[in-house]
Amino acid sequence: MTKGKRRIGVMGGTFDPIHYGHLVAAAEAAEEFRLEQVVFVPAGQPPHKRPETVTDARHRFLMTVLATVANDVFVVSRVDIDRPGPSYTVDTLTELQRLYGPETELYFITGADAMSQILQWKDGESLFEMCHFIAATRPGYSLMTFKKALGPVAQKFKDRIHPLQVPALAISSSDIRHRIRQGRSARYLLPDPVWHYIMKNGLYR
Ligand code: NAP
């Protein structure tokens, strides 16, 4: 943490759909790292997923807005959705740093599973020069898996990598999609307006 700089969280994810695990992770990160704001950034085209397996960005964006509207600290950005091509995190961070200015320190928050692949992301290692990383872990997740995947980089950038245990991340988007496909309820795993949006638009059937 650099003294005098404002700290902004960048919550990156596909959010297909957004659920309470994401919201709790963002709130915990904001409290623990004294973040002034958490910007939720739904990925436009997640670089590692086939486009036909991901719900239309318009739906994912609107669900993210519905889920975050009641919290003053949370905002939603369209930077990834409006940028054509794959949503590389290096481009997300460059754009947000430009928007927020050099006196802002960015904290990228995402799942530890996603982050353990970071060395395969575009510009991999150099991302650690751009911001801090908060790796949200599910119950039972072993940090050794994460450290092994990052190898010597984990030690080199240990001051920039912050694991964060989030028990509510027992909830997962893939489980919610699976439940709905099977005709089961997921109603209490995500905010009511998001549940109603999913039902109204027939998503995940
Ligand atoms: P993913 O592969 O769908 O997710 C991997 C795991 O992380 C899942 O368990 C997922 O749970 C969890 N997760 C994802 N976002 C989370 C968040 N914000 N907070 C807590 N847990 C989260 O990952 P993804 O969502 O598509 O991508 C995550 C971020 O990494 C996005 O911003 C994406 O653009 C970026 N990314 C960048 C590159 C690149 O630059 N080349 C490559 C891959 C990913 P849920 O399924 O429940 O969300």
Name the band, by pLDDT with cuts 50, 70 and 90, for residue 188.
very high
Global pTM value: 0.97
Determine the distance separating the centroid of ligand 1 and the alpha carbon of 112, expressed in angstroms: 8
Give the residue from 168, 121, 172 showing the smallest Cα distance to 27.
168
Determine the distance separating the centroid of ligand 1 and the alpha carbon of 122, expressed in angstroms: 14
Which structure tokens are listed for 161? 């990598």
Dump pLDDT digits (tens) for 24-40: 999 999 999 999 999 99
Determine the distance separating the centroid of ligand 1 and the alpha carbon of 92, expressed in angstroms: 13
106 secondary structure, DSSP code: E
Q: Verify whether ligand 1 is closer than 6 Å to residue 88 (CB atom).
A: yes
Determine the distance separating the centroid of ligand 1 and the alpha carbon of 146, expressed in angstroms: 14
Please say whether the beta carbons of 45 and 51 come within 8 A.
Answer: yes
Counting atoms of ligand 1 from 1, which one is nearest the CA of 112? 7
- Evaluate if residue 2 carries a pLDDT over 80: no
Using most ligand atoms within 8 A of CB, pick from 40, 79, 110 the residue to mutate for ligand 1: 110
Burial grade of 70 (CB within 10 A; 0-12, 13-18, 19 or more): exposed
Q: Verify whether ligand 1 is closer than 6 Å to residue 110 (CB atom).
A: yes
- Evaluate if residue 172 carries a pLDDT over 90: yes
- Evaluate if residue 90 carries a pLDDT over 90: yes
Average pLDDT over residues 155-163: 95
Q: Where are the domains of the chain?
A: 6-171
Q: What pLDDT shows up at residue 4?
A: 79
Which structure tokens are listed for 184? 């089961």
Q: Mean pLDDT over all residues of the chain?
A: 96
What distance in Å separates the CA atoms of residue 88 and residue 190, rounded to the nearest whole number? 27
Dump pLDDT digits (tens) for 13-26: 999 999 999 999 99
Dump pLDDT digits (tens) for 69-89: 999 999 999 999 999 999 999
What class, spelled out in words, does domain 6-171 have in CATH? Answer: alpha beta
Give the number of other CB atoms < 10 A from CB of residue 103. Answer: 9
